[in-house]
Amino acid sequence: MQTAAPCGTIWVFTRRSAMNRDNGDDIDRRRALDIVPVSRETEARLGVYVHLLRKWQRVKNLVAPSTLGEVWMRHVADSAQLIGLAPAARTWVDLGSGAGFPGLVIAIELAGRPDSTVHLIESDQGKCAFLREVIRATQAPAIVHAGRIEAVVPALSAVDAVTARALAPLPRLLKYAEILLMRGAVGVFPKGRTVDAELTEPSAMRKFRLDLIPSRTDPHGRIVRVHAAPH
């Protein structure tokens, strides 16, 4: 006859596993916020976002499962650093928002600033539902556009900055964002170690001035900041 001891042992193991996971999350959170500090109110909103991301991830593949253990560093801080590259921008467009990185993080950072809006463009209806839930829970100044980039972008006006993360090679991003960039928006596109290989199409680049800025969260990453080239 089985005694109660094994059950107690299992319970202790489960509890310790949860504690270890919580400790790991706390370390990841502290590391991320040391690199990209935010206000207490913004941190609380980001915490709600991460909680909902983990909850929805169980039924909807929002991010790579391998990145969940470092979600604050890999996704939150990596996105939050971008706002500093266009500090005066109040109206942003995020192309192919997916789970909301970087656009929804930027929107949360802008919460409380007058006249701030982030347009999140996403064609997947399930991801749009997730984005709307986070906006509702965090009161982030964001609008979800459920549709294709080519259909949504031409209708947007008075845009200060445009961004996208893990969406497409740089020449294609520039094509998606060209109408906004030519109207004066700044492009802020985080890229990995292969960015040099994406800078080999002169015909796609000649309309723009590009600056490569080291990422604060990835030693191999760079952020491409784009302005329309002067005539």
The pLDDT of residue 160 is 98
The pLDDT of residue 196 is 87
Whether residue 5 is contained in a domain is answered as no
Looking up residue 131, the CATH number of its domain turns out to be: 3.40.50.150
Whether residue 125 is contained in a domain is answered as yes
Q: How far apart are CA 128 and CA 131, in angstroms?
A: 5
The pLDDT of residue 199 is 85
**144-173 mean pLDDT:** 96
Q: Is the backbone of residue 166 left (phi > 0), alpha (psi -120 to 50) or beta?
A: left
- How many structural domains comprise the chain? 1
Tell me the residue range of the domain where 180 lies. Answer: 10-228
pTM of this prediction exceeds 0.75: yes
Whether residue 2 is contained in a domain is answered as no
The pLDDT of residue 200 is 79
Whether residue 89 is contained in a domain is answered as yes
Q: How confident is the model at residue 13 (pLDDT cuts 50, 70, 90)?
A: very low
Q: Quick one: which H or E segment has residue 210?
A: strand 208-214
